[in-house]
Structure 1
Amino acid sequence: MSWADGPLLGFDTETTGVDVDNDRIVTAALVRRDHTGTHVHSWLINPGVDIPEAAAAIHGVSTEHARTHGAKPKQALEEIAAELAQAFRDGVPVVAYNATFDLCLLDAELRRHKLRTIPERLYNEARPVIDPLVLDRAEDGLRRGKRKLVDLCGFYEVVESGALHTADVDVVATLDVLERIVGRFPHLASLDLDTLHEYQSTAHQAWAEGFNAWRLEQGLDGPGVSDVWPTREPVGTLW
């Protein structure tokens, strides 16, 4: 029996922007896949701030719609965190595409609303996490081209069940991509979850160091990417 046989819990968010320390969650989805099928739990949240037009154009949720129909963030965030923490306690892998973004942003939101973060609930780090983006880079690092979720759906011939950049659709697509990655690189299924988690952490660190070195060679400004996966401590005040 392999972890690839399930259960798995997929996680994704759509947000007001890409700053994990200061942006807010607008929609979120948790999708459990096990022997009984695929089960979706999704949230629409009033983030308490205006949703920039550029973000709304991506995920389709306007400030007005979120204010009218969205749940209060504290209640929704508590529900999301409770489900994720229980999965980690049960040893169920949490699957997230570019997991650092969603997990760090969630922990920042929890701190903002004076709720316990995932590590605080677990008295430990959040693990095991499975990130198809990290696995794809690690297993097929020489392949050219972009590696957004839509790109991997194309490469692995995953047909989305709806429009990407909708949290629940993205999670299902992420789980499908993971299945295809394991099918192409079957040795991953033989790893125990602790080994798989550490393998991804090491692989991400190596990729980040290489990417940041390339940025320096190109003379690009900015701090580059963090070499920590899947979570890091927040930066700033979180207000």
Structure 2
Amino acid sequence: MSDQGKVSPARRRGLSDEVADRIREAIFSGVYAPGAQLREVELSVTMDVSRGPVREALRVLEREGLVHCAWHRGTTVTTVSAEDVAELDSLRGALEDLAVRQVITRASDEDLASLAKTAEVMKHVTDAHEMVRLDIAFHDAVFAAAGHQRLADAWDGIRCQVHLFLLTRINLSTDGYLGCIPREHHGLVTALRSRDTETALDLFAAHRRHAVDVVTANADPN
């Protein structure tokens, strides 16, 4: 039998994926802040790999929106612009409104209990970067509980950029952050558990708007 029409064997996960994971984690941990330069040579030495996997990893991260590559500046961690904030907020809002409606009509009590557990863990967090992780994890769980695969896929397409936006938010100001985020998420869970669509939509919108307002108020006007 000829090879024509056969499906090629799947390749194992490559080194470039591992490198991308490590750089992404460094960005999310605050090791590389927005605007930081990412040099292939330095990264290859730090991670003890050749420049090829590093170059491929940076391309992956560029597709995720986490880094920006320019021939005259090299690669830098993405700096979130006012236009980025507006576009992310409008798209996230559209996706999240649908997710909230889906969760209220379709999510099981077990799904909502899982959301409540994530919100509860937030009360004991003392590190802003960890709080951002839990914030993203909470919204991951909301989209998962919606029971809508294409909606979850759409969220997955912007979640890294939302994570970067929230890192921008804490880099600008952490005043009251560790206290307000658990309270906000407790309110979100309460509204979802009550199956109160309008209240839930209003609270999710207020939650998004709070972060956008902090970034807008503290951003460099230049």
Q: TM-score, normalised by structure 2?
A: 0.32
Which has the larger share of helix?
Answer: 2
Which has the larger share of strand?
Answer: 1
Highest Rg: 1 or 2? 2
Q: TM-score, normalised by structure 1?
A: 0.30
